[in-house]
Each structure stands twice: as C-alpha cells, then as structure tokens.
C-alpha cells in the first residue's frame, strides 16, 4: 500500500483532482510498471542501456567522438548509414549538436 504523500509526489495532478472531488472514477489499487518502480526506488537509470549518442555526449573532443563512431561501426553496433549520419552531424554541429556533455556521475544524480 502506498502512503498519501508518496502518491502526491508521484501523481500530483491526479492527487489534486482526487482531493477536490472532481474525479469521476474510484481507484482501489494500482500496479506500477517497472520503469516507474525504478523512479520510486531512486534508480532512475536502472535498466538504461547507453546508445552511441550517450557515449558521444561524454567526449571532450570531436576526435574522440569520431573514434567512438568508428569503433561502434567496426563492431557492428551501428550500421554504416548511421555512422555516416553521425559523422555529418558531428562535422556540421560539433559535439553540442548531440546535447549537453555528460559528466562523470551523470547516472547517479537524483534530479
């Protein structure tokens, strides 16, 4: 059974609707999917498998990103077409084109 405060944190809009009495349905119980259970236990990234963009976002230089693309292509992790598209994007937009840099500890933050 989940306590009221925890329910409010997880489902703020539903909790507000239920408190105001605007809800037309009655919920006796519910089951969380695995990805939501991870959120509850503080394992936000549990089960996450990094993809090539995650690895590129850890790079300090474009040369490092190119090495990762070449390695993943050589290992058969990404097809040649995907590698070519990533290289074009890297040349056109630089590392910032893939998102903010993922610093050490990124997956351990609780935000």
**How do residues 41-94 score in pLDDT, each as one tens digit?**
555 555 556 788 888 988 889 999 999 999 989 999 899 999 999 999 999 999
In this predicted structure, the answer to whether residue 12 has a pLDDT above a threshold of 50 is: yes
- Asked if residue 106 has pLDDT above 80, the reply is no
Residue 110 near residue 42 (C-beta atoms within 8 A) = yes
3-state helix/strand/coil string of the chain: CCCHHHHHHHCHHHHHHHHHCCCCCCCCCCCCCHHHHHHHCCCCCCCCCCCHHHHHCCCCCHHHHHHHHHHHHHCCCCCHHHHHHHHHHHHHHCHHHHCCCCCCCHHHCCC
Find where tokens 């990234």 sit: 45
Question: Each residue of 5-39: b (16+ CB within 10 Å) or e?
Answer: eeeeeeeeeeeeebeeeeeeeeeeeeeeeeeeebe
CA dist 24 and 32 (Å) reads 21
């Amino acid at each position: 059974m989940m306590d009221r405060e925890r329910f409010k944190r997880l489902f703020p809009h539903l909790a507000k609707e239920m408190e105001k009495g605007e809800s037309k349905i009655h919920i006796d119980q519910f089951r969380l999917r695995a990805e939501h259970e991870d959120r509850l236990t503080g394992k936000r990234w549990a089960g996450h498998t990094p993809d090539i963009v995650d690895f590129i976002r850890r790079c300090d230089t474009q040369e490092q990103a190119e090495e990762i693309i070449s390695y993943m292509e050589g290992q058969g992790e990404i097809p040649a077409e995907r590698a070519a598209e990533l290289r074009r994007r890297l040349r056109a937009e630089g590392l910032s084109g893939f998102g903010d840099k993922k610093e050490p500890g990124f997956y351990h933050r609780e935000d």
